[in-house]
Structure 1
């Protein structure tokens, strides 16, 4: 902020007026309390000058006032910051003072060498004490010269006034507001979902700490936009491009990308981390929820013919080294026709998919690139293929090849539970773990081991219990890429 003044002098040489030049930024700040006070002080100073004709150094008076306000703000910010980290903040009472030791406050020390600033600092303390916001004590034998400690008056109304002085909403109020929002949106989710588990953890944290979760902000509108997006993603069954989703949710095509996306991604990552899953790339994480930058490309290899709603047919039989279909085409499929396919193999990782179709795929086999947790549109594609396979005279066998780790097991179970009930694991057993033992990775995370232990007690993962026992015993896991290197 810039302030300058031009004096107008009459014939006798006396100043009778002053023109204040303010930059535009000041006017946008005048609505704030401290700037309204500043303006009133400036106006009073000009009136005094005009009445008396004495050109006082008004700018110095203003500077002194600003310095005093800065001291007040800094003292209250530091004390309230310490208060929010104290036991008193959570319980409402404590026998310990919330205090600053002045000699340890580096921001104060340089100013105390200036007698003028020192007087201003003392005057600020006197005023804050009169208003029952703080109290203070002197260094022994240095009364009136060196302040020892400054402490907060622990009264709810006085603390609230302190928040008002530094132009902040009390943290407890912000936390209570966020808690109500999270509870509202959590009520829209189905039991057992990753997102609901995460939100329940946040609810517990806010209740215990009386502070906003670090995954959200102090901005109520942004918090609601984050929750609105998360719930939308959890219920989404189709593919949506980021900007179209943003326009539909917020009426602004760039709101998601500019303000919401980073927060949503951090929450999705933490939700996976809580259950011991590996964290995929950002784009894959969003794709899993059906949110993409551009339409998704789906990969497969096998004797398939796709019949579209408009009567067009696409024959993929000749594409032995990899075929592709985009998500928009999937939405317009009428039905899928297959020649006799005896085995269907889903493969989690791209490198293994490419290697397998080049080295091991047979003529009667359909190989599908699965990726991480499949997206809603990929789920539709899988179901269309299965409907076609059910029309064959002989039903095929279904297998899934993934990492021998928590993520790989969960991907397998999700596919089996939701789409292919006859699914069996492929190269995900104890024999493979031992065969590629030299290429295994050590498990050092305690939470990861707990996630494995949980799977070892879950009957849904019974087909992996033997290999999980080996993993827990040796604290190892195996990524499937290691199997194609030798």
Structure 2
């Protein structure tokens, strides 16, 4: 279809209107012609279009300077469909109807509540006359590729809806989107944004990699580092990890297939935010020390929740040590909420703050604002102290 700038401008104004695009309105509307419109296609071309469309009865032109300039173009709402047909453009109301139908079909097949919320947001935007950004076509990832299909974002959401095992990011992208790099280059930030808004397990302190990990998308293999008393069962054999007094790691496959033995000698569990502190902690009988690397992934979380269930009849101390800052406290709250309900802070109090205050760092204003509204009954004295001093202390300082 040929390009006609005047019709495109008319349709653009029509579709950007608050009510006209919905149809049913009658009467005339107008657009004014400015110098930038002449510059866009050339004055002679624009004047030629105006003459031709006026002869066809699609517009009326208010001329001046002996028909060498246009003041404004007047058109009838009843002729809008003809204009769409003339340039081969689908009306906005029809595009919205098709998209609404498509999104409704996606909602019928998903089960995760947060993904349903993503689709509900799209429907609200469509009902308000806006095409959701996530349903628009995307720029090509490579020069030799055409535009990506707008439904690929929904393909991502629907794939995440059924994921129950960790998968490498590029394998996810190749398997579900047909190209190993499309997810990272095009969809990753959009998915992370939606997950931050709607996923119930996403904490506001998580970085992008940690958010993806909560969705079972991994950049590298999961490894749960620990040292101390833990007995596993695998292929009919018992494995006593206490013999690894300097620590060991459980791969994602071990987390998936190993069982936690019913009989355990654990009397204390300590989760540690930072690797250096974890590595420096010595093995001691009856204690299991676990490196949390920030936020535990879903697989790690399930494994530790099962451990807590096995130990529920015993008297076990659950402790966490981390940075004396907003992130450290949020990680503590996350572990207590999702894994160990009896968790208590360890080396995370006013006394520890005072002892290492000289090694603290000044807080930025944004971090201070978040800390100022943070509440926790077990850590409120520390929170108040940090807010008062505007100083945070990294856990590595304890070494």
TM-score normalised over the length of structure 1: 0.62
Aligned position for 2:144: none
In structure 1, distance between residues paired with 2:366 and 2:389? 5
Q: Look at both structures and tell me which one has the larger radius of gyration over its CA atoms.
A: 1
1:340 counterpart SS class: coil
Cα shift at 1:81: 3.3
Q: How many residues align?
A: 382
Distance in 2 separating the partners of 1:313 and 1:135: 88
**Selected match of 2:48 from 123, 133, 140:** 123
Task: Write the mapping of 1:241-252 to structure 2, written as runs, cut at 5 A.
Answer: 241-242=168-169, 245=172, 250=176
Q: Please say if 1:171 is aligned against 2:97.
A: no
**Alignment partner of 1:107 out of 39, 48, 51:** 39
* 1:77 equivalent in structure 2: 8
Secondary structure of the 1:87 match is coil
Contact 2:226 2:291 (8 Å CA) reproduced: yes
- Give the Å deviation of 1:185: 4.1
> Which one of the candidate residues 422, 440, 443 is aligned to 2:342?
422
When structure 1 is superposed on structure 2, of 382-391 and 121-130 the one drifting more is 382-391
Instruction: Say whether residues 1:258 and 2:179 are aligned partners.
Output: no
Structure 1 equivalent of residue 225 of structure 2: 299
> 1:88 Cα deviation (Å)?
4.3
| Deviation (angstroms), 1:265 | 3.6
Q: What do residues 177-212 of structure 1 show as CA deviations (whole Å, max 9, x unaligned)? A: 334444454564455x4x44444444333323x122
Q: Could you say if the C-alpha distance between residues 477 and 138 of structure 1 is closer, same or farther in structure 2, counting changes exceeding 3 Å?
A: farther
Distance 1:83 1:420 in 2: 58
Indicate which of 296, 308, 319 corresponds to 2:234. Answer: 308
Change (3 A) 1:444 1:462: closer
Q: Which residue of 1 aligns with 2:141?
A: none
RMSD: 4.4
Query: What SS does structure 2 have at the residue aligned with 1:421?
Result: coil
Distance 1:106 1:147, change over 3 A: closer
Q: Which residue of 2 aligns with 1:440?
A: 363
Deviation of 1:327 (Å): 0.7
Query: 1:124 and 1:201 mapped to 2: Cα distance?
Result: 41
- The Cα of 1:235 is off from its aligned counterpart by 5.0
* CA separation of 1:484 and 1:273: change in aligned 2, threshold 3 A: farther
Residues 49-64 of structure 1 aligned to structure 2 (within 5 Å): none
In the alignment, structure 1 segments of 5+ residues that lack a partner are: 1-33, 35-68, 113-117
Q: Which residue of 2 aligns with 1:159?
A: 80
Residue 438 of structure 1: CA displacement?
4.3
Paired residue for 2:254? 329
Conserved in 2, the CA contact under 8 Å of 1:269 and 1:279?
Answer: no
Q: How does 1:21-36 map to 2 (within 5 A)?
A: 34=1
- The structure whose residues are more often helix, as a share, is 1
Contact 1:238 1:290 in 2 (8 A): yes
Q: Say if 1:408 and 1:377 are closer, same or farther in 2 by CA, change over 3 A.
A: same
Change (3 A) 1:306 1:279: closer
CA distance change for structure 1 residues 104 and 149 in 2, over 3 Å: closer, same or farther? farther
Q: Which has the higher contact order (CA 8 A, sep 6+)?
A: 2
Unaligned runs of 5+ in 2: 139-147
Correspondence for 1:386 among 300, 308, 311: 308
Which of the residues 147, 170, 184 maps onto 2:70? Answer: 147
Q: Give distance in 2, aligned partners of 1:482 and 1:240.
A: 32
1:368 aligns with 2:290: yes
TM-score by length of 2: 0.74
Question: Among 311, 317, 324, which residue is 1:397 paired with?
Answer: 317
SS of equivalent residue, structure 2 residue 394: helix
User: What secondary structure is seen at the aligned counterpart in 2 of 1:158?
Assistant: helix
User: Does the 8 A contact of 2:271 with 2:319 survive in 1?
Assistant: yes
The alignment partner of 1:212 has SS state of coil
Taking the aligned partners of 2:97 and 2:32, their CA distance within structure 1 comes to 28
Q: Distance in 2 between matches of 1:347 and 1:165?
A: 67
CA displacement at 1:364 relative to structure 2? 4.1
Cα distance in 2 between the residues matched to 1:368 and 1:121: 72
- Per-residue CA distance 1:105-149 (angstroms, 9 max, x = gap): 26347x33xxxxx2x53332122234454443324xx13212233
Distance between the aligned counterparts of 2:86 and 2:385, measured in 1?
A: 61
Question: How many angstroms apart in 2 are the aligned matches of 1:463 and 1:264?
Answer: 36
**TM-superposed deviation, 1:324:** 1.2
1-structure distance, mates of 2:150, 2:221:
28
